[in-house]
Amino acid sequence: MGENVSVAILAADDAPAMQSAVPAVLHSVCGRRILDYVVNAAGQVAGSRPVVVVHGDGGCIREHLGESCRIVDSAEGKDSVSGLFRMEECTGEEPCGVLFVLAGNMPLIRGTTLEGMLQFTSENHLTAAVLSGESPESGGNGISPVYCFDRRALRKAVREGQKSMEQETLGPEDILRILKASGERTGVFRIRDTREIMTVSDRVCLSRAEAEMRRRINEFHMMRGVTILDPSATYIGADVRIGKDTVVYPGNVLEGFTVVGSGCLLYPNNRLQNAEIADGTILQSSVVLDSRIGSGTTVGPYAYIRPGSRIGDHVRIGDFVEVKNSSIGQKTKVSHLTYIGDADLGQEINVGCGVVCVNYDGKEKHRTVIGDHAFVGCNANLVAPVEVEGHTFIAAGSTITEKVPAGALAIARARQVNKKGWVEKREQKKTEEKE
């Protein structure tokens, strides 16, 4: 990073080419906006906030970036450097130093590549450099969308170009041509991986960038001790973290700011979004959204952990269990076919099959509280707001509407009545009606 290094990112609106209402630079690759990848790479060399050049309103780009970048409107053309280089506005008041110009739709560009390009330019005393990368995958017409300019020479070239050229706007390639013609030292910085300068201009390019970024991310985790059994069938977002000795089976989708601990086992077909999974936990074919799961816990198959849930250590969440905005204490078992919504469960509770926390009265949500070591029988309904204290038993099939005190057995169901001969009488009546 250098104090006299600035970065300008050209973020033209390519939404029409994408057949989308969203600008190309705001489409996502592995869960992160394309423009964010470029901004992050720029941050590794820039001494100040990058400048993002938009054309026209650019409102959604402004809204997305907030204060992380300076926004400049290039009124003279989508890729206009003459519009870009209102120099004091875009690159600071100091006339000396270096300016990078990047396209905003290059999600695969690396900050280390920009650092290498900066070093190359300095060591060879160049006033301008361009990345090489003409290849079938580089996008465009073989002209790289990455340039490095000496700002003094650039300022002079812009003035000369505007005077001598009939066109009103100048692109980076025009500036480079003017510098060469005037005898300035220019060069080409060659990179091994030409995929870095792939530009995303349509959905086909987007899918290629997605595939390459996914490969990078999966290899990153594997090199740090994570086993991914089939990388081609595993989706891991750019901001996900995974601990050592975790095993990831095919079909897993890890998104957002998910954190998975060490020694976890992710069987096939889980989806985790902004989830926190502690060490040694096992998940199978389940969904976990904006929730935390403790260590040594097992979840699934087919469990649905909805936002705001906090599940403790050594808990069992079984098949077809839904948990929403609830806390569940250590060693509690919720084995199958149960809904835990807006509830606080203590430790070492056994929740039977088919239990429902009835949390909604038609207008508002209410909470259910269950104390430590309680036993909730199958098909019980706990109508909130209600409290079940510790060391209690709820009889199967009960509908609980009042507090259950500690140590009590709660039975809330009608007494069974058997009417002998009822079926025979019913059939006889049907026969008589037909006659």
Stretch among 157-161, 207-211, 352-356 having the lowest mean pLDDT: 157-161
**Residue 138 confidence (pLDDT) above 50:** no
Q: Report CA-CA distances (Å) from 48 to 4, 70, 132, 201.
A: 9, 10, 26, 28
Res 3 pLDDT > 70: no
* Cα distance between residue 162 and residue 289, in whole Å: 55
> What is the share, in percent, of the chain residues with pLDDT greater than 90?
68
For the chain, what are the domain ranges? 5-197, 225-410
Is the confidence at residue 325, as pLDDT, over 50?
A: yes
The DSSP-derived string for 324-351 is ES-EE-TT-EEEEEEEEESEEE-SS-EE
Which listed residue (55, 64, 336, 373) is catalytic? 336
Q: Is the pLDDT of residue 145 over 70?
A: yes
Of all residues in the chain, the percent with pLDDT exceeding 70 is: 88
User: In whole angstroms, what is the distance from residue 309 CA to residue 274 CA?
Assistant: 12
Please provide the DSSP assignment of 126-153 as one string. Answer: -SEEEE---STTS-TTS--SEEEEEHHH
Could you please state the CATH topology (level 3) that the domain comprising 5-197 is classified under.
Answer: Spore Coat Polysaccharide Biosynthesis Protein SpsA; Chain A (3.90.550)
- Assign a CATH topology to domain 225-410: UDP N-Acetylglucosamine Acyltransferase; domain 1 (2.160.10)
Averaged pLDDT, 130-156: 70
Residue 1's pLDDT band (cuts 50, 70, 90): low
- The arithmetic mean of pLDDT across residues 112-135, rounded, is 89
For 318, list phi and psi in degrees, rounded to 5: -90, -160
Report the alpha-carbon distance of residue 434 to residue 424 in Å, rounded. Answer: 16
Assessment of whether the complete model's pTM goes beyond 0.85 = yes
Largest CA distance in the chain: 112
As a whole number of Å, the end-to-end CA separation of the chain is 97
Residue 336 is among the residues annotated as catalytic for this protein: yes
Q: What pLDDT shows up at residue 172?
A: 79
> Between 152 and 346, whose confidence is greater?
346
Q: Where are the beta strands (DSSP E) in 51-195?
A: 51-54, 70-73, 98-103, 128-131, 146-150, 186-189
Mention every residue, 6+ apart, whose C-beta is less than 8 A from residue 372.
Answer: 329, 346, 347, 348, 349, 390, 391
pLDDT at 91 over 70: no
Query: In this predicted model, what pLDDT tens digit does every residue of 20-33 receive, in sequence order?
Result: 888 889 999 999 99
